[in-house]
Amino acid sequence: MSKTAGIVIIGNEVLSGKTQDTNSHFLCRELRALGVEVKRISVIPDVVETIGREVAAFSQNFDIVFTTGGVGPTHDDVTMEGIASGFSVKLARHPELERRSRERYGKDLNEARLRMAEVPEGAELVGQDTLYAPVVKMRNVYIFPGIPKILVDRFDAIKERFRDTPFFLKMVYVKEGEGVIASLLNNLLKNFPDLLLGSYPVLDNPEYKVKVTLESKDLGYLDRAFQAFLAALPQNAIHRIEEV
């Protein structure tokens, strides 16, 4: 069994179409490469109760949870409050975050900036050796900001702690359409029920019609499934093969 993960994207700006969320795709790619299986993404508004309920449910259902967004100093930054309420704890000023804020802002420190040192009671800091602003972790929930550049830097600094056994992936670009190869894929799954098998039609490409993905954490199993698939395909149906 892989480690499982869930991602909660918090922000009215995504739901109202003002911002395209790119954080979830970044996290999905990175986590897959680490061998972690992302099982669900939710995009929810900046509402304390909604955040609390969602994060608490994700925390129960998945091994690791990531949240993005809602951690700044303004009125619509209610992620910390939401997560605290979801875990039925209070917000508390984290001494180390407060120390860093005082160091950074000196006499320009104000209430709004101090608010950013408030975390759910019991939360810990991760990556504080290398990161200017460490990641806040509450139980199995890693709390990230919404700004992609900052999220990427912080994730990179701590990602090794998430590593699991890797997935192996083979991709076959097939010249026949899904309507032609569907039954062949069904047969393949009958013989290899644990294979992760994807079939993705491609429009407007003169060279192939479908990208088929075969994936497993068991390389031997994947190889046998892959050989069976190649043998079952009609002659000359393969445009290209890629392996990861």
DSSP notation for 195-239: -EEEEEE-SS-SS-SEEEEEEES-HHHHHHHHHHHHHHSPTT-EE
Q: Which residues contact 112 (CB under 8 A, 6 or more apart)?
A: 73, 74
- Tell me: does residue 14 bind a second copy (CB under 8 A): yes
**88 vs 243, beta carbon nearer a second copy:** 243
- Tell me: does residue 219 bind a second copy (CB under 8 A): no
> What is the bridge-based pairing of β-strands 135-138 and 168-174?
unpaired
**30 vs 121, beta carbon nearer a second copy:** 30
Do residues 138 and 94 make contact, with C-beta atoms less than 8 angstroms apart?
Answer: no
Q: What binding mask, one character per residue, do residues 103-132 give for a second copy by CB under 8 A, x or -?
A: --x--x-xxxx-x-----------------
Q: H or E stretch including 82?
A: helix 79-86
d(CA 45, CA 188): 42
Residues 10, 41, 55, 172: which binds a second copy (CB under 8 A)? 41
**Nearest distance from C-beta of residue 203 to a second copy, angstroms:** 6
> How crowded is the C-beta side of 140, counted as CA atoms within 13 Å?
17
Binding-residue total with a second copy (CB under 8 A): 63
**4 vs 128, beta carbon nearer a second copy:** 4
- Tell me: does residue 20 bind a second copy (CB under 8 A): yes
Q: Which residues contact 229 (CB under 8 A, 6 or more apart)?
A: 172, 184, 188, 212, 214
**Nearest distance from C-beta of residue 9 to a second copy, angstroms:** 8
The interface region with a second copy, picked from 29-37, 80-88, 122-130, 221-229 by CB under 8 A, is 29-37
- Tell me: does residue 44 bind a second copy (CB under 8 A): yes
- Where residue 23 falls (left for φ over 0; alpha for ψ -120 to 50; beta otherwise) is alpha
d(CA 233, CA 176): 9
- Tell me: does residue 10 bind a second copy (CB under 8 A): no
- Tell me: does residue 72 bind a second copy (CB under 8 A): yes
Which 123-182 positions form the footprint of a second copy (CB under 8 A)? 147, 149-150, 178-182
List of residues contacting a second copy (CB under 8 A): 9, 12-22, 24-25, 28-33, 37-45, 72-76, 105, 108, 110-113, 115, 147, 149-150, 178-183, 185-186, 189, 196-201, 203-204, 213, 215
